[in-house]
Amino acid sequence: MNKKSPLIILAVTLSSNVFAVEKLTFNQAIDLAVKNNLEVQASYDAYKSTQADKKSTRSAFFPKIYASLSYEKTNSQTLATGTSLTNDGYTGAINLSQNLFKGFSDYASLKIADGNILTGEANLQETKSQISYDLKSSVANYNFAKDSLALSKDILKRREDNLRMVELRFENGRENKGSVLLSKAYLEQAKLDLFKAQNDMEVSLKYLRRVLNLPENADIDITDLPPMADQVETPPNYSALIENTPVAKRFKATLNNASATLETRQSGFYPSWDVTGSVGKTGQDFFPDDQKSWRVGTSLTWSFFDGGKDYYASTSANLLLKAAEKRLENQNLELRRVLSDSYSNYNEAILTVKVSTAFLDASKVRADISRSKYNNGLATFDDWDIIENDLITRQKNYTQTIRDRLVAEAAWEQAQGTGVIP
């Protein structure tokens, strides 16, 4: 018995690992997209940043406590005697300040922070929805390319078998030269279609790798498709859907911020009330401990005239608020149109798959019957050719409707701001 060289075994092992196809289910592809997609990660970080900003804004409602340490050197001189005295002075203190009222501007800042959080949430939702659309579209195109490649190989074999059958009948004097030439042309067309299908397969793989953020040389295969509904959905509540779309949330955030900006600008018409306090020690040596002191105070500041700045700023903010309200109303109308179109296209795609399936099943039966008739001399080449081409057309159309069905579903989900990305 011959023993295999360890080097040969190692080479075979490495070769199988290099060319091994990584098979992924659709759910595994979702996990991979979430893990590898940098845009999703960036959107999560940006959203968390807006939440941290709101916590920072809350600091305005808490007192500020800080320590201070100062040193000064003074010199005094008596002109009559010419004597001078130099003193060193140190001061250490704990200080506290608290704003009690600032014309509601602090509350307005909180509203702006909430608006920014809503914008961050909308951006994150839109990013996940876009990645979901890209993933479903790439899987749909990959599945279409894979099915088209397999179908092209089957059609090529079918055209080869058909040509042999026509040539045999021609040699027996039961077919004309034109039928042979047409059958050869069909064969060449099948070879061209196979070549195109191979190219489409490479293109779809590149698209899929890009969505999953995989290396260019990664060889992967998606083994299944996402579940597809086979029934037309009932008409949705568009008003409820609009409320949850990323676009509507962003416009709401804009309206919220415009309202808060108006409150901020109007705060100039109100007084500002602050309290302060400090406890400290002073002395000539470090650390000072000669004298102890404390101080408590309050102040009320009210600006009666600033050259019209507050008035015009408030007028500008009020106009921006009205503009935001009108834009939100207009955007809601546009969202209803987009959702309605996407819903119609999605349901049409579901019904198209049903119709395409029915035609394909009928074409398969007719093609088998026609092929048998032609082979037995009971049908002409022209009659058989029409039915044969109809079958091939139906087969190609079916693979396209499956792809279009998945893409339409992805578009419907994207219009709602949803998808398969958690």
CATH of the domain at 320: 1.20.1600.10
Q: Residues 145-199: pLDDT tens digits?
A: 999 999 999 999 999 999 999 999 999 888 899 999 999 999 999 999 999 999 9
Residue appearing with tokens 């092929």: 371
Work out the percent of the chain whose per-residue pLDDT is above 90: 50
Confidence tier at 7 by pLDDT (50, 70, 90): very low
Domain residues for the domain of 169 are 43-75+87-416
Residue appearing with tokens 């795609």: 349
Q: Residues 114-138: pLDDT tens digits?
A: 999 999 999 999 999 999 999 999 9
- Who contacts 83 (Cβ-Cβ below 8 Å, separation ≥6)? 77
| Averaged confidence pLDDT in the chain | 87
Q: What average pLDDT does this structure show over 220-227?
A: 89
Q: How far apart are CA 297 and CA 320, in angstroms?
A: 40
Position 9 in a domain: no
Q: What average pLDDT does this structure show over 24-42?
A: 90
Q: How far apart are CA 328 and CA 250, in angstroms?
A: 9
Q: What average pLDDT does this structure show over 237-243?
A: 91
For residue 141, give both structure tokens: 């195109």
Cβ–Cβ < 8 Å for 65, 95: yes
Q: Residues 252-277: pLDDT tens digits?
A: 999 998 888 888 888 877 888 888 88
Position 105 in a domain: yes
Q: How far apart are CA 247 and CA 46, in angstroms?
A: 17
Q: Residues 371-399: pLDDT tens digits?
A: 999 888 888 999 999 999 999 999 999 99
- Asked whether the predicted pLDDT for residue 15 surpasses 50, the reply is no
Cβ–Cβ < 8 Å for 178, 185: no
Strands (E), 78-209: 84-101
Position 27 in a domain: no
Task: Give the C-alpha distances (Å, rounded to integers) separating 26 from 47, 138, 142.
Answer: 27, 11, 12
Position 378 in a domain: yes
Residue 146 has a pLDDT of 95
Q: How far apart are CA 14 and CA 4, in angstroms?
A: 16
Residue 191 has a pLDDT of 96
Residue 12 has a pLDDT of 39
Position 5 in a domain: no
Position 313 in a domain: yes
Position 30 in a domain: no
Q: How far apart are CA 138 and CA 135, in angstroms?
A: 5
Q: How far apart are CA 155 and CA 166, in angstroms?
A: 16
- Who contacts 261 (Cβ-Cβ below 8 Å, separation ≥6)? 108, 112, 317, 320, 321
Residue 262 has a pLDDT of 85
- Among residues 120, 133, 340, which one has the least CA distance to residue 250? 120
Position 372 in a domain: yes
As for how many domains the chain has, the answer is 1
Residue 20 has a pLDDT of 66
- Among residues 322, 335, 274, 333, which one has the least CA distance to residue 301? 274
Q: Determine if the peptide bond prior to 286 is cis (ω within 30°).
A: no
Q: Residues 34-48: pLDDT tens digits?
A: 888 888 889 999 999
One-letter amino acid at 369 equals I
Global pTM value: 0.80
Q: How far apart are CA 343 and CA 265, in angstroms?
A: 43
Task: Give the C-alpha distances (Å, rounded to integers) separating 180 from 186, 377, 391.
Answer: 10, 16, 20
